[in-house]
Amino acid sequence: MDCSYLSLINVMKVFICVPVCISSVLLSAFGETVPPNGSTDPSHVEKPVRCYQGSCWYLGPYFQFVPECVDGNCQCYAPNYNKITCLPCVGSCFIRKYEDDFSSVHAKPLDSSPFGSGILYSCVGKGGHQGDVHVLGVNEVYGQRHTSPPTAEAMNVSISSSSSLTRPIILVLTNYEPVNWILDVQPHLNIRKVILIAQYPDLSSVTTVSGVSQSLVVEKWPRSTPRGFGSDIGGGKTAEMLAILTEEFGGITSFAGIYQTESWELNLPSVCHEIYPKVAEATTHSTPAMPGTAVQTEPTPSYEVEPISCLDNSCWHVGPPLQFNASCVKGHCECNAPYYNKISCLPSVGSCKIRSLEINSGDLYARPSLFPLQPYTVYSCIGEGSTSADVHVIGVHEGSTKTQPPTASRIYVSISSTTGVRSVVFVLTNHEPVEWRLTYPPHLNIAKVILISHYPELSSVTTEFGESHTWTVEKRPSDAPGGYGTDREGGNTVGMLVDLTEEFGGVTSFAGTYKANYWFFNLTAIGDDVTPTT
């Protein structure tokens, strides 16, 4: 897709922003062309990418850019790339390149090279719903020795802000060669966490300079996570990385990347933030209780539930009649079977009341990713859990590929947590074969992993790099009930949740989607004091 600039609909939204953002919206609304990143500097003209002997093969894999040579210039038609520059363009982050003069850029690379710092790639976007997401990327430290095995070099980063930023900061650091990132952070800046995306995560690290009291929560994402320093021509997956971060946090506040440098000066920019409308008030209705308990009065979700319309005064399309017992009432289907919400027909077992959420919802603690980006729904609940352990369920129908005969797709699950007091039971469920790869902090106390699959002999669970672990994998029979959140297409999420609730006393969380190749699971976001989903 092309990178489209701000449109008239933006004027209808409410913003808290600095003047440059306001001017961008107004200029766009009246038909003026506004360069990306809020700049109105007409001297900054993006140069097209020239063809080579009538071809664009040198850009990289065809499927990544989908380029065509048109009038001597390459045009990129792949999603998340600018058509003219072939630079990443994800959400409101329109990456541009700067050569030597970085005076107008929020992040400045510093090194002692007599030839200058090279090309800097940068964007300023609108940010995410969870905080301000700032990304710094390099291939390597300037002058880094390429040894075998690789060894890390230090990269100093000075982080400041000329304004009083009240939103939490999520700092993303990405590198190919091993890097020891050393941060010097102004005391008033609230860095919620640091995400490290590296080719060698075990050889890379993030620390603070001596004298900085701020403690850091560092998440090391899997080695297989896409990464890049701004331009993907000739290698790199910046666009894919930004797409995953946008799915995870709702947007990118800033990006700055360069092939190599010695250090960074990062002056955090002020950006626009949308104010989303409040959700509706809640009402109540009854829902089936667990066996042996009284019927519960379940609050109607405070989010808007989309009713299922009847088809020809029938609800045959909801699912098997014996499973849902759905009837057509005033043009909408109502599900009357136990453990299903009457309006949404989604599972409602004990305190786990599943609702459907879009991928950019701020209520998600577990986010799937699938690239190339495709629109899909996440089914999620937070329950009261068990008294003995936290029981977390992740479900998919399949991974990124489906073959005949069936073969396993790989799904990476990156688990973050700042606490590890209670033991954890993970339940992983899939219909098509999946090879689950887990990454988690060493303090997390995983008691066991339960695998529920239609093809248990073709599915497996291990750590990302095959490291040793103390937890066991318990494979349930192929006929054990399983599902990814909605049972309308043949799953049995309800049966699985009933079995787990009877076995453990409750489910702490559930997250599922039809298809994924990554999951980012933030256990800290659930916490012990979070009220169950209603």
Per DSSP, the residues of 209-270 read: -TT------EEE--TTS---SS--TTS--HHHHHHHHHHHHS--SEEEEEEEESEEEEEPPP
The residue written with tokens 């399983």 in the block is 482
pLDDT for res 359? 66
Does 36 map to a domain? no
User: CB within 8 A of 469, min separation 6: which ones?
Assistant: 446, 463
User: CB within 8 A of 126, min separation 6: which ones?
Assistant: 91, 92, 251, 253, 271, 272, 273, 274
Q: What does the pLDDT average to over 146-160?
A: 90
Nearest to 179 by CA among 215, 216, 136, 217: 136
Q: 265 and 354: one domain?
A: no
Nearest to 339 by CA among 351, 347, 331: 347
pLDDT for res 338? 94
Q: What are phi and psi of 77, to 5 degrees?
A: -110, 5
CA distance 478 to 494: 16
- The most confident of the ranges 133-147, 305-319, 332-346 is 332-346
What's the Cα-to-Cα distance from 1 to each of 69, 91, 116, 369, 390, rounded to whole Å?
17, 11, 34, 19, 42
Name the strand (E) or helix (H) holding 502.
helix 493-504
Q: 97 and 236: one domain?
A: yes
The string of DSSP codes covering 297-357 is EEEPPSSPP-PEEPBTTB-GGGS-HHHH-EEEETTEEEE-STTB-TTT--BEETTEE-EEE
Residues linked to residue 109 through DSSP beta bridges, in sequence order:
264
Q: 107 and 190: one domain?
A: yes
Q: 227 and 93: one domain?
A: yes
The count of structural domains within the chain is: 2
Does 339 map to a domain? no
User: CB within 8 A of 313, min separation 6: which ones?
Assistant: 328
Q: What does the pLDDT average to over 77-102?
A: 90
The string of DSSP codes covering 131-193 is SEEEEEEEEEETT----SS---EEEEEEEE-SS---S-EEEEEEESS-EEEEEEE-TT--EEE
- What DSSP state is assigned to residue 55? B
CA distance 264 to 489: 51
Q: 101 and 243: one domain?
A: yes
Q: 364 and 511: one domain?
A: yes
Cβ(230)–Cβ(260) under 8 Å?
no
Does 367 map to a domain? yes
pLDDT of 156-205, one tens digit each? 999 998 776 667 899 999 999 999 999 999 888 889 899 999 999 999 99
75: burial class by Cβ within 10 Å (0-12, 13-18, 19+)? Answer: buried
Q: 375 and 507: one domain?
A: yes
Does pLDDT of 113 surpass 90? no
Q: 127 and 241: one domain?
A: yes
Q: What does the pLDDT average to over 57-72?
A: 88
| pLDDT more than 70, % of the chain | 78
Does 175 map to a domain? yes
User: What is the pLDDT confidence band of residue 131, given thresholds at 50, 70 and 90?
Assistant: confident
Mean pLDDT score of the chain, rounded to an integer?
80
User: CB within 8 A of 45, min separation 6: which ones?
Assistant: none
Nearest to 410 by CA among 473, 475, 461, 481: 461
User: What is the pLDDT confidence band of residue 99, given thresholds at 50, 70 and 90?
Assistant: confident
pLDDT for res 47? 82
User: What is the pLDDT confidence band of residue 428, given thresholds at 50, 70 and 90?
Assistant: very high
pLDDT for res 102? 84
What's the Cα-to-Cα distance from 29 to each of 26, 33, 125, 406, 444, rounded to whole Å?
5, 10, 18, 51, 50
| pLDDT more than 90, % of the chain | 48
What is residue 89's three-state secondary structure? strand
Does 355 map to a domain? yes
pLDDT for res 367? 79
What is residue 52's three-state secondary structure? strand
**Among candidate residues 254, 274, 294, the one where a domain is terminated:** 274
Does 294 map to a domain? no
Sign of the alpha-carbon dihedral angle for 190, 414, 78, 49: positive
**Among candidate residues 218, 252, 274, the one where a domain is terminated:** 274
What's the Cα-to-Cα distance from 195 to each of 147, 187, 219, 225, 227, rounded to whole Å?
25, 20, 5, 11, 12
What does the angle CA 133 – CA 139 – CA 143 come to, to the nearest 5 degrees? 125
| Domain limits for position 185 | 88-274
Looking from the CA of 209 toward its CB, the CA atoms found within 13 Å total: 10
Does pLDDT of 34 surpass 50? no
Q: 124 and 268: one domain?
A: yes
Q: 270 and 152: one domain?
A: yes
Cβ(399)–Cβ(459) under 8 Å?
no
Determine how many CB atoms are found less than 10 A away from the CB of residue 324: 21
Q: Determine if residue 418 is left, alpha or beta; phi over 0 gives left, psi from -120 to 50 gives alpha, anything else beta.
A: alpha
CA distance 68 to 71: 10
User: What is the pLDDT confidence band of residue 288, given thresholds at 50, 70 and 90?
Assistant: very low
Q: 266 and 354: one domain?
A: no
Does 460 map to a domain? yes
pLDDT for res 49? 92
pLDDT for res 86? 94
Q: Which of 61-75, 266-280, 432-446 has the lowest mean pLDDT?
A: 266-280
**Among candidate residues 274, 297, 319, the one where a domain is terminated:** 274
Nearest to 532 by CA among 361, 349, 396, 378: 349
Does 42 map to a domain? no
Q: 267 and 374: one domain?
A: no
